[in-house]
Amino acid sequence: MFTIGDFARLGRVSVRMLRHYDRIGLLRPVAVDARSGYRYYTADQLRRLNRVIALKDLGLTLAQVQQVLNNALEVAELRGMLRLRRAQLAAQLAADAARLTRIEARLRTIEREGRMTTQDVVLKELSSLRVAELTATAASHETTDIGRAIQPLYPELFRRLAVAEASPTGPGLAYYEAAGDGEKVVVHAAIEVAVSPDPTRDFAVVDLPAVPAAATVIHRGPMDEVAGTLQLLAQWIEENGWRAEGYHRELYVEYCADDPAAGVTELQQPVTRA
């Protein structure tokens, strides 16, 4: 027989771990000295210890390991358990690969610019939203044309909401879509609400679908200076292996009509893997 110290060295585990396995009934010593409390193990128990180590290495919990060793699982249950673990590891590998891509992109930016950027792009999921909105058509996607079309819509939307006694439940936002085959763009001035669609009202109520993945960045300052922030967002999308889908959204976190320079806007660009 082996003392707990010798058995731990043979099995390449710690004495503390063997004591824990004993407490939970996973691997009990064959004998315990009544006076000293010393634990003793046999060479044959190394096979069970090695199975414990191998199953743990697969990512199973100690409770699951105990079920396997005690033959308390059907083959189908064990197969399902391992398939779940395989899926978890695959998801972890994908997340780590995406993280590695972001690190490499950040390193390229630092090497190119010689400094750490103060604007961070965050990938997130966008929840579905119910919004009240008014629309107009801009002559092009140029910032000045967009601003000229959308700016009058918000005061009018708020006026109509007040008449309908429909209170906003969130910040304002804007989103865009192409108008036919030309350069024109349909602009949507919207605000989150909790009212049902009603064709008799003089504003539309629309449910915006959830977006599984959107690259987002905070723009500070007036919207007529948004081009630089959009360029940064586009660069991040390209360098991190994503592809922009359609037009971006603008969430007006802090809208300051009297002081546009104090505005805070989150730009949200839906993306898919390139």
| pLDDT, position 53 | 92
User: CA-to-CA distance for 137 and 149, rounded, in angstroms?
Assistant: 6
3-class DSSP state of 127: coil
| pLDDT, position 118 | 53
122-273: CATH class = alpha beta
| pLDDT, position 45 | 92
Sort strands 264-273 and 168-178 into parallel, antiparallel or unpaired: unpaired
Query: From residue 88, how far is each of 51, 85, 94, 140, 213 by CA, in Å?
Result: 22, 5, 10, 46, 20
Residues paired with 131 in a beta bridge: 192, 206
User: CA-to-CA distance for 51 and 21, rounded, in angstroms?
Assistant: 13
Contact 189, 157 (CB under 8 A): yes
Architecture of domain 2-73: Orthogonal Bundle (1.10)
| pLDDT, position 27 | 93
3-class DSSP state of 222: coil
User: CA-to-CA distance for 31 and 84, rounded, in angstroms?
Assistant: 38
pLDDT in tens, the chain (274 residues): 899 999 999 999 999 999 999 999 999 999 998 889 999 999 999 999 999 999 998 888 999 899 888 887 788 888 888 888 889 889 889 888 877 877 887 677 677 666 555 568 888 999 999 999 999 999 988 888 988 999 999 999 999 999 999 999 999 999 999 887 778 999 999 999 999 999 899 999 999 999 999 999 999 888 888 888 898 899 889 888 899 998 999 999 988 777 888 889 999 999 998 7
| pLDDT, position 259 | 83
Q: How far is CA 142 from the centre of its chain?
A: 31
- pLDDT digits 0-9 by tens, 112-139: 666 555 568 888 999 999 999 999 999 9
Contact 236, 105 (CB under 8 A): yes
| pLDDT, position 38 | 92
What pTM did the predictor assign? Answer: 0.61
| pLDDT, position 82 | 87
User: CA-to-CA distance for 29 and 186, rounded, in angstroms?
Assistant: 75
Token duo for residue 273: 């893997």
| pLDDT, position 119 | 67
List, in order, residues 6 or more apart from 112 with CB less than 8 Å away: none
Domain residue spans of the chain:
2-73, 74-117, 122-273
